[in-house]
Amino acid sequence: MEKTSRIYVAGHRGLVGGAILRRLQAEGYTGLITRTSRELDLRDQAAVRAFFAQERPEFVFLAAAKVGGILANSTYPAQFLYDNLMIAANVIHASHEHGVRKLLNLGSSCIYPRLAPQPLREEYLLTGPLEETNRAYAVAKIAAIELCDHYRAQYGSDFISAMPTNLYGPGDNFDLQGSHVLPALLRKMIEAKEAHAPQVEVWGSGTPLREFLYVDDLADASLFLMERVSEAGPINVGTGQDLSIRDLAQVIADAVGYTGALVFDASKPDGTPRKLMDVSRLRALGWEASTSLHDGVARTLAWYLAHRAEALAAH
């Protein structure tokens, strides 16, 4: 990518797209193209084709998606499947039709079978049943990988796919009904500290192991992949390290300065016992995550405190 290349970031208002856009701007790229979902409905094939014909992007970061937690995925599976299928099909096909030089499709670790061995390797894709609670979303994300691979095989399109682990950072969702565990705990502990609450409740036993990647590290990996990697199939992006939810809660409490008790409610669901990505393929290509969990949590905390009103209004 040249500094003046025409680069389209789909989903630039989301956690991932926002981090990619920040990184491109910081690196001095000037030909950046964005559209909000109100300006361009990526589910509308005619609108997407017209946009590509008008803007002629050379490079595409496909970070747009309908996302949500277990509750949203379970309640609206038809929307999660349809919206994400249409977004992927329209953007990938329009990229082929209009001669995009390279496309990076961003997915999720939920593409892997529910009972796949740990850590999760790329070759485990399509080797077993998916987790039921997010199967609709996962099927759409698998279809996007297949589209990229088949356009590569049939037409020689340079379309690649990256599968990040659990993400967090500036621009995250802090709504307690729909957020993931890290931002939810961060908000809970800030509010408990401010209210001088004696304890904070944490869902589950605290024993499940989870991996967390700071979203700006994913943006760094995305540029690395766009510039240096051209191969089929998903490529895992993560830290290759995990920790228990109990240890995560303590890291967050220390960052916030909350000194009350952490009470684990084992009657609440734990989810999968472990979900760790094997990142040896990306490491062999020359990329590793650089932000420690402590530093990433501190930066996310600082961002949230500075943007609290906007963060809570966004969801």
Q: Which residues are designated catalytic?
A: 137
Sequence-ordered alpha helix ranges (H) in 233-279: 245-256
The CA distance from 138 to 161, in Å, is 14
Both tokens of 235, joined, read 């490529």
In the sheet with 243-244, reading across from the earlier edge strand, the strands are: 243-244, 209-210, 274-275
Phi, psi of 92 (to 5 degrees): -70, -40
Contact 10, 17 (CB under 8 A): yes
Longest dimension (CA), the chain: 62
Are the beta carbons of 28 and 4 closer than 8 angstroms? no
Angle, helices 215-228/15-26, rounded to nearest 10 degrees: 60
Residues annotated within a binding site for substrate? 188, 203, 210, 270
Interatomic CA distance for residues 234 and 125, integer angstroms? 9
∠ at Cα 123 (122, 129), nearest 5°? 100
Buried residues in 167-205 as b, exposed as e (16+ CB within 10 A) = bbbbbbbbbeeebbbbbbbbbbbbebbeeeeeebebbbb
Residues placed in the known binding site: 11-17, 106-109, 141, 164-167, 180, 188, 203, 210, 270
* SS3 label, residue 276: coil
Beta bridge partners of 71: none
Please give the helix or strand (H or E) that residue 179 lies within, else none.
none
